Amino acid sequence: MHISEGVLSPAVLIGGAAIAAAGVAAGLKDIDQKEIPSMGILSAAFFVASLIHVPVGPVSVHLILNGLVGLILGWKAFPAILVGTALHALLFQFGGITTLGVNTLNMALPAVICYYLFGWGLKSGSGRSVFIFAAFASGCCAVLISSIMVGFSLYLTGEAFLPAAKLVVAAHLPVMFIEGSLTAACTLFLRKVRPELLEGVYAPK
């Protein structure tokens, strides 16, 4: 869900960049210099995971996984997603320089929101069904909120974008369910194999 260069109005670009900068600053505050190599490797893993294409009906879509990023990283999702977005622009020319802020914001804010809404459900004490629900909801909602924010960025640029914005949200409805199931299965995997990852080793203490 990257918005290309040249589409959004200056006001949206500046607003997006400003909020994203605040989020990145908040995330960076939580990161110790010592943790940077580990964070980088984890960001890289998410970057690569987002290149995976899964079939949805007759087409295939690539994974977004910002819900999972949020659950694992909390506020640190902002810097991680900023770097991922920048690399998407530099390596594949998805998005660009002026849209860096908006694109980061649209992916990272839902990640943080889901961390606060559902993160509690993933702690070691919670039962299996609560756990699955929280993970599924997080994967689902992150994509939903992101697509709404992308639609909203377009709408704020001009009312003429409204139908396009609606279509963006509608197109992501099936993706939401895939992302939800994948996030649930993936967190179950992590809970079995490496529970520390879900228990705030990376997210703020």
Site for another protein in 45-74 (CB under 8 A): 45, 47-49, 51-57, 60, 63, 65, 68, 72
Smallest distance from another protein to CB 189, Å: 3
In this structure, are residues 122 and 70 in contact, taking their beta carbons and an 8 Å threshold? Answer: no
Query: Least Å distance between CB 19 and another protein?
Result: 17
Residue number with CB closer to another protein (108 or 182): 182
Pick one of 197, 199, 200, 204: the residue that binds another protein (CB under 8 A): 197
Q: Is 170 in the site for another protein (CB under 8 A)?
A: no
Q: Is 83 in the site for another protein (CB under 8 A)?
A: yes
CA distance linking residue 45 with residue 100, whole number of Å: 20
By the rule CB under 8 A, 37 interacts with another protein:
yes
Tally of CB atoms within 10 A around 119: 19
122 in helix, strand or coil? Answer: helix
In angstroms, give the least distance from the CB of 151 to another protein.
12
Q: Return d(Cα 2, Cα 146) in angstroms, integer.
A: 10
Nearer to another protein, 22 or 164 (CB): 164
- In the set 16, 20, 23, 42, which binds another protein (CB under 8 A)? 42
Q: Does 7 bind another protein (CB under 8 A)?
A: yes
Does residue number 18 form part of the binding site for another protein (CB under 8 A)? Answer: no
Nearer to another protein, 68 or 134 (CB): 68
* Closest of 95, 76, 98 to residue 85, by C-alpha: 95
Q: Which of residues 100-139 bind another protein (CB under 8 A)?
A: none
Shortest distance, position 11 Cβ to another protein, whole Å: 10
Euclidean distance between CA atoms 2 and 85, whole angstroms: 8
- What residues are paired with 55 via a beta bridge? 60
For the chain, where are the alpha helices, taking DSSP H only? Answer: 10-30, 36-49, 66-73, 77-92, 100-118, 128-157, 162-193
Could you tell me which residues come within 8 angstroms of residue 85 by beta carbon, excluding any fewer than 6 positions away? 2, 95, 100, 103, 104, 107
Q: Shortest approach of another protein to residue 115 CB, angstroms?
A: 16
Q: Which of 26, 87, 113, 148 binds another protein (CB under 8 A)?
A: 87
Residue with tokens 């295939």: 60
